Amino acid sequence: MLDLPRSERPRERLTRLGAESLSEQELLACLLGRGIAGESVLVSARRLLAAFGSLRGIAEASVERLCAVRGIGPAKAVQLKAAVEVARRVAPGDAGDRPVVDSVEAAAALLRPHLLDKPKEHVVALLLDNRHRLIRLAPIAVGSLSASLVHPRELFKEAIAASAAAVLVAHNHPSGDPEPSAHDLELTRRLAAAGELLGIEVVDHLIVAAQGVVSLRASGAMPEGRVPAGRARNNRRGR
C-alpha cells in the first residue's frame, strides 16, 4: 500500500470521490483496514474475491470460512460480517421484497449459509410476519443442545422485539447427520408449547446438516398447526 501515491489509496479515493467510485477490491480494503506483514491489504482483498467469487459470496460465507483465507483473521472476518449485517438492515425495501417462507425448501435456502460448515451447534430463528414473510434471521444460541436445552425466553424475546407473528427454528448438526436427537425432540415440544401460550406460532423446527435437512413437523414431533404452504416435509439426501 505504501507503494501507492497517497491520493490513490482506497481510503483517500473514497474520501475524494465517494464510495460508489471504488472497485469491489478497494471497498474490501477499506473494510479490512490493513494487510499482513509484507502484504498490502489490497492483496488480501483480492484473495477474498478469488476465494468466494463475488461480494455476495463473501457476504454469505461463515466466519470460519472467511478465516480460512490467508490474511483474514477472526477480527477481520467479524468486521466483514458486521458490515454485511449493517448493509442488510439499512437496505431499502418494502414487505413485497421480503421472501415468503412457505416451504422447507424456502427456509433451507435462507438457513444453509448461516448453519453449514459450523464446528458447533448454532440455533437460529426465522422471524415471520402473519403472512410468513421474513422479518429477519435471529441468532439464538451457540453450543451443544445436549449440554443445555435452549430456553424458550431466548427465542421469544427476539420474536416479541420484532413483532413477529410466527417463528421457524433451526439448528445445525456439525456431524453432518440431520437425524433428530432426543434433545432436539424435547426442545421442539417446549418451544411449541411456549409459542402457543404466547400466541406466536412455531411453524417448524429444521435440522440443517451436510447430508440434508429434516423438518421435525413433518417427522411428527410437533402438534398439528399451520404448516408453511402445507409443504413441510423431510428433505434428506442419501446418507
Model confidence over 130-144: pLDDT tens digits?
Answer: 999 999 888 888 876
Closest CA to 14 of 24, 6, 5, 26: 26
Pairing verdict, β 122-128 and 166-172: antiparallel
Please work out, in degrees rounded to the nearest 5, the angle formed at the alpha carbon of residue 14 by the alpha carbons of 48 and 72. Answer: 20
Q: Note whether 39 and 127 are same-domain residues.
A: no
Grid coordinates of 142: 451457540
- The predicted model gives 170-181 an average pLDDT of 93
Closest CA to 225 of 194, 239, 204: 204
Q: Which of 90, 117, 152 is the last residue of a domain?
A: 90
Question: What is residue 232's predicted lDDT score, i.e. its pLDDT?
Answer: 38
Mean pLDDT of the residues in the chain:
84
Grid coordinates of 122: 448454532
pLDDT surpasses 90 at 21: no
Pairing verdict, β 166-172 and 201-209: parallel
Q: Note whether 99 and 148 are same-domain residues.
A: yes
- The predicted model gives 178-198 an average pLDDT of 92
Q: How many alpha carbons lie under 13 Å from residue 79 in its C-beta half-sphere?
A: 13
Give the confidence band of 80 by pLDDT, cuts at 50, 70, 90: very high
Give the confidence band of 159 by pLDDT, cuts at 50, 70, 90: very high
Q: Which residue has the cell 422485539?
A: 161
Q: Note whether 85 and 102 are same-domain residues.
A: no
Q: Is residue 1 part of a domain?
A: no
Domain that holds residue 163: 95-236
Q: Note whether 169 and 194 are same-domain residues.
A: yes
Domain with residue 24: its CATH number is 1.10.150.20
- Cα torsion 230, 182, 137, 66: sign: negative
Q: Note whether 35 and 71 are same-domain residues.
A: yes
Q: Note whether 106 and 11 are same-domain residues.
A: no
Record the pTM: 0.59
Question: What is residue 146's predicted lDDT score, i.e. its pLDDT?
Answer: 54
Grid coordinates of 163: 413483532
Count of domains in the chain?
2
Q: Note whether 22 and 114 are same-domain residues.
A: no
Q: Is 13 within 8 Å of 26 (Cβ atoms)?
A: yes
Question: What is residue 93's predicted lDDT score, i.e. its pLDDT?
Answer: 52
Q: Note whether 228 and 123 are same-domain residues.
A: yes
Q: 98 vs 29, which has greater pLDDT?
A: 29
Q: Which of 90, 106, 128 is the last residue of a domain?
A: 90
Q: Note whether 36 and 84 are same-domain residues.
A: yes
- The predicted model gives 213-231 an average pLDDT of 70
- The predicted model gives 216-238 an average pLDDT of 59
